[in-house]
Amino acid sequence: MGALDEGHFDAELENGVRLGCLELGDEEGPDTLAIEDAVKVLLQGLGEDVNREGLKKTPLRVAKAFLEGTRGYRQYVKDIVQGALFPEAGLDKEIGHAGGAGGLVIVRDLNLFSYCESCLLPFQVKCHVGYVPSGQRVVGLSKLSRVSDVYAKRLQDPQRLADEIASALQNGIKPAGVAVVLQCLHIQYPASLASNHEDWVKIQVTSGSGAFKDEKAGIWGDFLSLLKSRGININKSCTRDSTGKSWCPSRSPSISPTCSSFGSMNPKMVTAVTSIIQLLGEDPSRKELVGTPSRFVKWLMNFQNTNLPMKLTGCTIHNVDSLSNGEVNGEMEQICSELNLPFCSQCEHHLLPFHGSVHIGYFCREGFSPSVKSLLQSIVHFYGSKLQVQERLTRQIAETVSSLLGGDVMVVVEAYHTCMISRGIEKFGSNTATIAVLGRFSTDSVARSKFLDSISEANGW
C-alpha cells in the first residue's frame, strides 16, 4: 500500500488546489499562447512546416489537449465532496442498525486517463473505488468518479494516483475506510509495433486507508470478490513493484536520458517541453520530472519528417510481373493478403499516439503466394513513422504497395486514437477503420467482400 499524506489532503480539502494559472477554456490567455509557441518549436525540430495545411492549428489543439489532460491542477476537491454528503441515520460510525458493520460501497470500471510524469504520454486507467460509510454519512456515487478524475488529470504515476484518490476520499468523506484499485495501460516506448493492448505495459496498483490500511484485512477479500463477480480479476500479490522501479518503459536503462542519443538532442525542443510542464502548473525540477522533457522529445523524434528512401533491403519480391491485372499465361489469379501488420504513429493534429493494424490485399497467380510480408511491414513502418492522419496513412500505403505489386490493392487500417480519450471526449475502446482501394478492387465488390471476410476470419469475428 502507498503511504498516505493525510495532512496534505486536509489542507487541500480546506483550501482547494490551484497549482496552475491556466483556466479551462482560456484559449487566448498568455500562458496558452506560450504553450503554442513551445509546440511550434517542437514541430520545427521535427523538420515540419508549421504553416502547412494540417499543422496550422496544431499548436492550439495541443495546448488545449494538455490543458484538458491536466485540468485536475485547477480543480477543487473540496467543492466536489462538500455538498454531496448525505445523512444516513442507520450508520453510527461504521455500525449499522442491526449492529453489523456498515455496508461496503463499490463503484467499478471507471474509465480514466492520465499523463505519465516520466514521458508525457497518456496512459489509460480502469479505476475501482470502494468505501465503508461511517458517522451517518454517505456520498453521492458520482463524486467517487469526479474525485478520481481530479487526480488522474495531472502528471501522474499509478501508485501515487491510487494513493491520492484514497487519501482525498478518506479526508473528504471521513468513512471507516477507502479502497482503490487501478489497472493501468501504457504504450510501449519508443514507438514500437504494438498493434493491440496485449503488447502494452500493464500494471495493477492498490491503495487503502482506515479499514483497508492492512492489506491482509478480510474486507479486502470482500472488495476483490465483488470485482471478480464482474470478471475483474486482481492478483493482490502482483499489484506493486517491490523494487520501486518506474513502470514507464521510457525509464528503462537502454533508453535512459544518459544515453548518447540524448546528447545530440535538440536543446530548444527540450527547453520547450520544460516550459510546457511549468506552464501547466508543475515544477520541472521535481525529481520525478527530471529527464521527462528529454524522454518526450526522444519519443517525438521517432516521427521526424524525412525524405530518406525506405529501407527495403533484404525484402525480395519474386515474379512481380505475375501480379499484374488479368490472367498470367492462362493461369487464374487469386486474392492474397497480409493481415494484422502492426503500426504506431503520431497524430499530427494533437501530437498524440495512435496505433493499430494494417491489412493489405492484392492479386497474385493462383497457387502462388509471394513472400512480401517483410516488404509490406517496412512500408507500413515507414509511413507510420511520421506525423500522420489515418486517412493519409491508408492512402500512402495503398499507393506504394500498388506501385510494387501491380496496381490492384486494397488496404484497411484499424486504429485506436489516444486523442479520442485524452481531450475530454473520452470514448474508450473506440476504433477507427479507413479503407483505400485501387485497381480491380475499386470495381469488383466480390473481391472486396472476400478480402474483408478474410480479416474477420483471421481475427475470429
DSSP letter for each residue of 42-99:
HHHHTT--TTSTTTTTHHHHHHHHHHHHTGGGG--HHHHHTT-EEE-TT-BTTB-TTS
Q: Which residues pair with 139 in a beta bridge?
A: 85
Is pLDDT of 194 > 90? Answer: no
Q: Which residues pair with 413 in a beta bridge?
A: 358, 434
What is the three-class DSSP state of 173? helix
What is the three-class DSSP state of 17? coil
What size, in residues, is the chain?
Answer: 461
Q: What is the mean pLDDT of residues 447-452?
A: 96
pLDDT for residue 426 = 58
Asked if 319 contacts 303 with a C-beta cutoff of 8 angstroms, the reply is no
With residue 118 as reference, give the H or E element that holds it.
none
Percent of the chain with pLDDT over 90: 53
Percent of the chain with pLDDT over 70: 75
d(CA 113, CA 426): 9
- Of 35, 205, 33, nearest to 114 (Cα)? 205
Instruction: Tell me the three cell numbers of residue 4.
Output: 498516505
pLDDT digits (tens, 9 = 90+) for 224-265: 999 999 888 887 655 544 445 678 888 876 554 444 444 467
pLDDT for residue 99 = 42
Sequence-distant (≥ 6) Cβ neighbours of residue 253 within 8 angstroms:
none
Instruction: Tell me the three cell numbers of residue 458.
Output: 483471421
- Of 371, 404, 382, nearest to 311 (Cα)? 382
Examine residue 190 and say whether the peptide bond preceding it is cis (omega within 30 degrees of 0). yes
Q: What is the mean pLDDT of residues 355-364?
A: 93
3-state helix, strand, coil in the chain (%, to 5): 40, 20, 40
Is pLDDT of 197 > 70? Answer: no
pLDDT for residue 217 = 87
pLDDT for residue 319 = 42
Cα–chain-centroid distance for residue 224? 26
pLDDT band at 1 (very low <50, low <70, confident <90, very high): very low
d(CA 415, CA 391): 11
pLDDT for residue 310 = 60
pLDDT band at 204 (very low <50, low <70, confident <90, very high): very high
Asked if 203 contacts 241 with a C-beta cutoff of 8 angstroms, the reply is yes
pLDDT for residue 191 = 52
Of residues 259 and 333, more confidently modeled: 333
Q: What is the DSSP string of 210-238?
A: ETTSSTT-HHHHHHHHHHHTTT----GGG
Is pLDDT of 433 > 80? Answer: yes
Domains along the chain with CATH numbers: 6-303 (3.30.1130.10), 320-458 (3.30.1130.10)
Mean of per-residue pLDDT scores for the chain: 81
pLDDT digits (tens, 9 = 90+) for 90-141: 555 555 544 445 588 999 999 999 999 999 999 999 999 999 988 878 888 8
Q: How many CB atoms lie within 10 A of CB 226?
A: 15
pLDDT for residue 92 = 59
Q: Which of 31-40, 192-201, 339-348, 416-425 has the lowest mean pLDDT?
A: 192-201
Asked if 388 contacts 34 with a C-beta cutoff of 8 angstroms, the reply is no
pLDDT band at 76 (very low <50, low <70, confident <90, very high): confident
How many H-runs (helices) and E-runs (strands) does the chain carry?
Answer: 13, 12
What does the longest C-alpha to C-alpha distance in the chain come to? 89
Is pLDDT of 415 > 80? Answer: yes
- Report DSSP state, residue 331: B
Of residues 201 and 198, more confidently modeled: 201
